Amino acid sequence: MQHIPQLFTADDPPRMGDTTLTEGLGVPLSFGHTYLTLLVCLSGSARFTLNFKEHVVRRGDVLLLAEDTIALLKRRSRGFKVFFCLMPKGFAAEVGYQLPNPLFIFLHEHPHCVPDSDDRPLIEGWLAQMRDIVKCCPTYRHVMLRNQLQNLFLKIAEQLPATYKGSRAFSRKEMLSWQFWDLIGKHCTRHRDVKFYADALSITPFYLSQLTKAFFNDTAKGLIDRQVTQEIKALLSYSNLAIGQIADELNFVDASYLCRYFKRQTGVSLSRYRLQGQKEAGQA
Which tens digits make up the pLDDT trace of 256-272?
999 999 999 989 899 98
**Helix residue ranges per DSSP H, the chain:** 89-96, 101-109, 120-136, 141-158, 162-165, 172-187, 194-201, 205-216, 220-238, 243-249, 255-266, 270-280
CA distance 4 to 222: 27
Q: How confident is the model at residue 19 (pLDDT cuts 50, 70, 90)?
A: very high
Q: What is the mean pLDDT of the chain?
A: 87
Question: Has residue 249 got a pLDDT over 70?
Answer: yes
pLDDT recorded at residue 167 = 54
Single pTM value for the model: 0.73
Do 10 and 31 touch, CB atoms closer than 8 A?
no
Q: Where are the domains of the chain?
A: 15-162, 176-280
Residue 33 pLDDT grade (very low, low, confident, very high; cuts 50, 70, 90): low
Structure confidence at residue 105 (pLDDT) = 84
The CATH-assigned architecture of domain 176-280 is Orthogonal Bundle (1.10)
Per-residue pLDDT tens over the stretch 89-147: 889 988 988 888 889 888 888 999 999 988 999 999 999 999 999 999 998 999 999 99
Do 187 and 228 touch, CB atoms closer than 8 A?
no
**How high is the pLDDT of residue 206?**
95
Residues above pLDDT 90, as percent of the chain: 57
CATH 2.60.120.280 fits 15-162, yes or no: yes
The per-residue pLDDT for range 196-207, each reduced to its tens digit, is: 999 999 999 999
Residue of 64, 75, 66, 70 lying closest to 26 (CA atoms): 75
Alpha-carbon span 236 to 271, nearest angstrom:
9
**Reported confidence tier of residue 185, pLDDT bands at 50, 70, 90:** confident
- Rounded to a whole number of angstroms, the distance between the first and last alpha carbons of the chain is 38
Indicate the DSSP class of residue 233: H
Q: With DSSP H G I counted as helix, E B as strand and the rest as coil, what are the percentages for the chain, rounded to 5?
A: 50, 15, 30
